Structure 1
């Protein structure tokens, strides 16, 4: 069953990428929020490998393909910090364009990447897992403690989403992060490992929708006129 679900997620992310790129101009790619496309590509790969692992079969090929999944997660997922600050910069939040914010955002992202590499990816030992029709490679010994890198990213997205909602009235970004956070924290008693991926899709849909608003120049800081 999960095999089909992951395949549907793969096609959903492909559609999301196409929608996100619709009408985009070349100069738009240089903006911070364009990193969302890299995140979507990584998720297309992630869900795609989970969907076709059964056909590839266990062995070195599938194991190496799964190793790439974990490295992409470690390096690309933290770019959501850059996306978060980018939404503020591009919607006209003046302090988000300051040098110290730019520097802090980049350093924060690098730290998140290094934390994941040092604590998880650098010493990656995988074993085959067969569950709900999906064949993949996962941790032989799951990392202990909370997912620090994810906590770093979630905090940045919640803060940026909250500021964006307050300054522009656009709440979709913030709501998407809240749904993802709550959905990931609740242990669902369902015969599937794909439930978390559903919340990821909801979050990325919210991010791409926000990016679309920025591309179309429809997201600006509200200027409060003095009485």
Structure 2
């Protein structure tokens, strides 16, 4: 369950670089710091598959005890990392872009739609959240995932790129609440 800490570290780094861009200014330093953003995203975000699987184990979903499923989860996570590296990171070319007053470096060629890795990780989170909701009557994992999906799909009426970051923060908050809830249940405490 603690893999979520790596995801949080990646999000913190991402937001720190975005916030610092205007102070660092255009150039190779900011460009290289932005390359790291893409690498951390590719390496850490797929770890949410491991988190989702662990929430199912914590909910005592019987089929999560199969050893082959554990290896399947690891294989899926590594595959998602490789997909993201191959499709989004390797050969990455960045250019400076100022958006809503934030200076950062973005991909030169913008792909249409969200990356396949994000779609698959979100699908895994959604399915796991439904199982946790049914088994443990904990709806908040599901709500956090749905809010992230809706927030990412909707066109925000606000002139800010921070809206996406807000929905990522909401998702992470609900994932942390799920982790805390399941830890307390395991310890026999009330939440």
Matches within 5 A, 1:123-138: 123-138=91-106
**1:48 and 2:22 matched:** no
**1:205 and 2:165 matched:** no
After superposition, the C-alpha distances for 1:73-111 in whole angstroms (9 at most, x for unaligned) are 001000000000001112322211211211111111111
Matches within 5 A, 1:168-187: 168-187=136-155
The CA distance in 2 between the partners of 1:79 and 1:111, in whole Å, is: 11
Equivalent residue number for residue 133 of structure 2: 165
Aligned residue pair count: 188
Equivalent residue number for residue 123 of structure 2: 155
**1:105 and 2:55 matched:** no
After superposition, the C-alpha distances for 1:168-212 in whole angstroms (9 at most, x for unaligned) are 101111110011001101112321111111111110000001111
Secondary structure in 1 matching 2:185: coil
Secondary structure in 2 matching 1:216: helix
Query: Which gives a bigger RCO, structure 1 or 2 (Cα 8 Å, sep 6+)?
Result: 1
The CA distance in 1 between the partners of 2:156 and 2:166, in whole Å, is: 12
Q: Could you say if the C-alpha distance between residues 219 and 199 of structure 1 is closer, same or farther in structure 2, counting changes exceeding 3 Å?
A: farther
After superposition, the C-alpha distances for 1:104-161 in whole angstroms (9 at most, x for unaligned) are 1111111111111111100100000112221110011112454200111011101110
Matches within 5 A, 1:1-227: 33-144=1-112, 146-217=114-185
Structure 1 segments, 4+ long, off by >4 Å, are none
The CA distance in 1 between the partners of 2:113 and 2:167, in whole Å, is: 22
- How high is the TM-score relative to the length of structure 2? 0.94
Q: Could you say if the C-alpha distance between residues 199 and 219 of structure 1 is closer, same or farther in structure 2, counting changes exceeding 3 Å?
A: farther
Provide the aligned C-alpha RMSD in A: 1.5
Structure 1: give runs of 5+ residues left out of the alignment: 1-32, 221-227
Q: Which moved more, 1:141-150 or 1:60-69?
A: 141-150
The question of whether the paired residues in 2 share the 8 Å contact of 1:45 and 1:69 is answered with yes
